[in-house]
């Protein structure tokens, strides 16, 4: 696809009233990624020059886009949100290519393949406007409907549509490829809707049709162009994304025993031979090696698991690394840059924070290891804890190799226990 003559505009200024929160919907996350980034990334795959029209909470929206795309996306402000037609008008001064590709920002399921298809149909039909349409007869969606009268086409917005949906089963998806020359005049002739007082971008279709221009509708799957206006629609779209992610990892050799209960963010990776049981949630940059077994209701965020790791039920792992053949849980809380060594065991009701546990070491029951560096082949007895906090500062605990810490020890940091040492049950050290 040659994209040198296209520039894209993403409509991302809206207030998201139907979400009933005080956040721009474009910042709502689906599978761990902000809604608007699904579109910017699809355009980036095609190397299309992109501008985003921002307004409501624009600083935050710009921030998120810049974090991923640096300076490659430009921004235009729509000071007052007076509709999609007005948003496009605000950007007129930056149009310089032959074709303007306009996309709603609230369509995270759209793919670069669909954009490419629209471009190809546009060229093949020599159209003035090419737009994506999808079959959808659910009256609860707030989509504009494609209405044909004789040989004339128009988009009628949901609020203004009075016809029979069965007779007009196609909705406007919110992706338009338009000849710049036509758009330059059409966009200045829009009138406010008498129903909503907004300028509708969709009116350009009627303008083109009345002028006998070629309009090419491209039918695309509804699921790829779902618009998201509220939490209900967000949930539906996220379900689709989540299923796609789980399908992907299944085909890579991962067993999900009850997949409809799992959540995965889109940056998660899982090695083949691994088993993910019911209720497991994997967030952020979690990377799971081969042949790991994550048991039910464990929650992992930015966790790295090497190969053959077992995580027993109800374990929380956050920003930590678990090395090959280690076993953690049930009910373990491993967080804040903890490293659990090869063949090590962290058992029931054990919390570790900013600590390392060496290879073959064990803390099997009811312990707290905070700011601790524990060597290899160490045994931490049941109920033993590091007292790393004196009320003002945190202090380090060092336990060298082959140490045996008896049950119920209180290790008052800063403290070092040298290799081979043995402490009796109930010691305060
Ligand atoms: C829009 C279309 C509708 C289509 C549907 C597809 C119009 C008038 N209607 O309706 O035909 O079926 O999308 O999902 O275009 N925005 C701005 N500035 C504004 C208003 C909106 O930037 O002043 C942005 C929003 O942030 C959003 C996008 O434009 O990303 C679409 O706006 P939205 O209010 O969601 O339009 P719909 O009612 O869904
Ligand atoms: Ca919408």
Contact 298, 316 (CB under 8 A): yes
Provide the whole-model pTM.
0.95
Q: What is the DSSP string of 32-78?
A: TEEHHHHHHHHHHHTT-EEEEEEBTBHHHHHHHHHHHHTTSEEEEE-
Give, as residue ranges, everything with CB less than 5 Å from ion ligand 2. 106, 227, 229
For residue 140, the model assigns a pLDDT of 87
Residue nearest to atom 19 of ligand 1 (CA): 83
Which residues of the chain, if any, have pLDDT below 70?
Answer: 1-2
- How far are the Cα atoms of 88, 91, 152, 232, 414 from residue 94, in angstroms, in the given order? 11, 6, 31, 35, 62
The Cβ of residue 83 has, within 10 Å, a number of other Cβ atoms equal to: 22
For residue 141, the model assigns a pLDDT of 83
For residue 1, the model assigns a pLDDT of 63
Taking the CA of residue 226 as reference, the ligand 1 atom at the shortest distance is 14
Q: How far is ligand 1, taken at its centre, from the CA of residue 359, in Å?
A: 56
Which of these, 359, 398, 366, lies nearest to 381 by C-alpha position? 366
| Token pair in block for residue 89 | 């008008």
Q: What is the pLDDT of residues 65-111, one digit of tens each?
A: 999 999 999 999 999 999 999 999 999 999 999 999 999 999 999 99
Q: Which residues belong to the active site?
A: 365
Taking the CA of residue 201 as reference, the ligand 1 atom at the shortest distance is 15
Contact 54, 73 (CB under 8 A): no
41-61 CB burial, b ≥16 within 10 A, e <16:
ebbbebebbbbbbbbbbbeeb
For residue 2, the model assigns a pLDDT of 65
User: Rounded distance, CA 300 to CA 302, Å?
Assistant: 7
Q: How far is ligand 1, taken at its centre, from the CA of residue 76, in Å?
A: 17
Contact 260, 244 (CB under 8 A): no
Taking the CA of residue 14 as reference, the ligand 1 atom at the shortest distance is 26
The Cβ of residue 307 has, within 10 Å, a number of other Cβ atoms equal to: 15
């Amino acid at each position: 696809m040659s994209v040198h003559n296209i520039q894209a505009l993403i409509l991302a200024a809206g207030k998201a009233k139907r979400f009933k929160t005080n956040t721009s919907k474009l910042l709502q996350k689906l599978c761990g990624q902000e809604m608007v980034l699904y579109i910017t990334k699809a355009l980036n795959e095609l190397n299309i020059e992109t501008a985003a029209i921002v307004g409501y909470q624009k600083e935050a929206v710009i921030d998120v886009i810049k974090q991923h795309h640096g300076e490659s996306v430009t921004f235009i402000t729509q000071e007052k949100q007076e509709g999609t037609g007005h948003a496009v008008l605000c950007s007129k001064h930056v149009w310089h290519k032959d074709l303007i590709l306009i996309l709603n920002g609230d369509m995270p399921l759209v793919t670069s393949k669909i954009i490419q298809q629209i471009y190809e149909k546009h060229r093949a039909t020599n159209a003035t406007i090419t737009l994506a349409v999808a079959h959808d007869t659910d009256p609860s969606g707030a989509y504009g409907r494609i209405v044909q009268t004789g040989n004339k086409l128009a988009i009628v917005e949901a609020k203004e549509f009075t016809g029979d949906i069965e007779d007009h089963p196609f909705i406007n998806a919110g992706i338009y490829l338009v000849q710049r020359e036509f758009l330059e005049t059409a966009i200045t002739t829009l009138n406010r809707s008498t129903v909503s007082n907004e300028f509708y971008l969709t009116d350009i279709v009627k303008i083109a049709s009345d002028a006998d221009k070629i309009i090419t509708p491209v039918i695309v799957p509804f699921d790829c162009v779902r618009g998201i206006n509220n939490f209900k629609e967000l949930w539906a779209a996220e379900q689709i994304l989540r299923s796609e992610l789980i399908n992907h990892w299944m085909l890579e050799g991962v067993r999900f025993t009850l997949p409809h209960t799992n959540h995965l963010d889109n940056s998660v990776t899982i090695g083949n031979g691994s088993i993910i049981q019911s209720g497991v949630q994997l967030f952020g940059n979690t990377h799971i090696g081969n042949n790991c077994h994550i048991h039910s209701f464990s929650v992992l965020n930015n966790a790295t698991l090497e190969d053959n790791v077992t995580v027993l039920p109800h374990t929380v792992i956050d920003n930590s690394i678990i090395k090959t053949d280690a076993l953690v849980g049930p009910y373990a809380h491993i967080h804040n840059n903890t490293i659990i060594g090869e063949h090590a065991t962290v058992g029931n009701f054990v919390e570790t924070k900013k600590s390392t546990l060496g290879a073959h070491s064990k803390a099997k029951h009811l312990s707290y290891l905070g700011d601790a560096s524990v060597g290899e082949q160490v045994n931490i007895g049941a109920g033993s804890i590091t007292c790393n906090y004196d009320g003002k500062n945190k202090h380090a605990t060092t336990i060298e190799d082959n140490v045996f810490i008896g049950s119920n020890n209180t290790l008052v940091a800063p403290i070092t226990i040298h290799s081979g040492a043995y402490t009796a049950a109930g010691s305060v050290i």
